[in-house]
Structure 1
Amino acid sequence: MFIIMLIILAAVGFVIQYGLGFLQIKHFTKHYTELRSKGRVAIGRRPSIFKAGTLVLLQLNNKNEIEDARYMQGVTVFSKIKKLKGLEGKKIKKLKDTDLTKYNKLLIKAILDAQHTFNVIQNGGTIEKIPSPIMKVVNKVNRIFKNERGLKNGLHR
């Protein structure tokens, strides 16, 4: 009986998490669409499990100047997009760490990721997918097992 209740509780939790995640994506899409209607949008991201995940939207004019900036930061699905003040009028290509000192470390990384994404796209490249924190752990474990197997078989790198 306890196992059945545990399974039901987990299923209910999953459905609630899915529903709240859907609402968060809908909230993000509303803001992205609003910014996109005004011009190009550079997106920066910094996913995390134990720290706040961070997402930045930078709306650019035709001179590559930031006209509007918004961010979402938090560890739960209740995180909302907020205005990011202080970047208006700055050229995205010329952003430096020194321009970002008033922001927290995760927000700085997301802003610099938006800058990197913009530069790659401008030069005709494609953006590499940032693995989720769980996939980083899985990949690390896989590398450890591959190294152990290689050593057992007499293979060295």
Structure 2
Amino acid sequence: MLIMLIIFAAIGFVVQYILGLLQIKNFTKNYTQLREKGRVAIGRRPAIVKSGTLVLLQLNNKNEIEDARYMQGVTVFSKFKPLKGLEGKKLQKVNASDLEDYNKLLGKAILDAQNTFHVIENGGEIAQIPSPMMKAVRKVNGMFKKERGLKHGLHR
């Protein structure tokens, strides 16, 4: 019984790995297509329970959005789709009213692309967004540190 469970877990891991590779291939294909036409701003909203969202915004030399695509979903079966409604807008001038027609996570990913573009344009580096799993690990570690500090009479 235990061996069967291990075999099923291993098969599940391999299938997930292969599907993940296909998703990366889909990202690479879409990014390359957009990059051939100009610069690309990337926005992301990682999530575990909610839909993870990734946005690719292709910009012309005036920083106007010419083409936009997004991938949103909770599974590795998610693929990029066209994102309509932003064409011709300057990335720096996209605001909340421009995002009203999109769901909340997609809007946040578009704003992340805007922020990422701004940071890179000004010579900065993008801070890595911690994965949802990493956020959970940090939260649990923080709880243990706080508890340990209280046990030993340490205060912050």
TM-score band by shorter chain is over 0.9
> Aligned partner of 2:92: which letter?
K
1:69-111 superposed Cα distances (whole Å, 9 cap, x missing partner):
0000011111010000000000000110111100000100000
State the aligned residue count.
156
2:33 counterpart of 1:34: yes
> Aligned partner of 1:50: which letter?
V
SS of residue in 2 equivalent to 1:26: helix
TM-score, length basis structure 1: 0.98
**Bigger Cα displacement from structure 2, 143-152 vs 83-92:** 143-152
1:113 Cα deviation from its structure 2 partner: 0.4
SS of residue in 1 equivalent to 2:130: coil
1:46-71 superposed Cα distances (whole Å, 9 cap, x missing partner):
01111110000000011010000000
Provide the C-alpha distance between the structure 2 equivalents of 1:107 and 1:27, rounded to a whole number of angstroms. 19
1:152 Cα deviation from its structure 2 partner: 1.5
> Aligned partner of 2:98: which letter?
D
| 1:114 alignment partner in structure 2 | 113
| 1:150 alignment partner in structure 2 | 149
Runs of 4+ in 1 over 4 A off after TM superposition: none
Provide the C-alpha distance between the structure 2 equivalents of 1:8 and 1:47, rounded to a whole number of angstroms. 30
Provide the C-alpha distance between the structure 2 equivalents of 1:27 and 1:127, rounded to a whole number of angstroms. 23
RMSD of equivalent CA atoms: 0.6
1:13-70 superposed Cα distances (whole Å, 9 cap, x missing partner):
0000000000010011000001001110000000111111000000001101000000
> Aligned partner of 1:94: which letter?
K
Provide the C-alpha distance between the structure 2 equivalents of 1:151 and 1:126, rounded to a whole number of angstroms. 37
SS of residue in 1 equivalent to 2:10: helix
Provide the C-alpha distance between the structure 2 equivalents of 1:112 and 1:144, rounded to a whole number of angstroms. 31
| 2:124 alignment partner in structure 1 | 125
SS of residue in 2 equivalent to 1:87: coil
| 2:21 alignment partner in structure 1 | 22
1:123 Cα deviation from its structure 2 partner: 1.0
| 1:71 alignment partner in structure 2 | 70
SS of residue in 2 equivalent to 1:126: coil
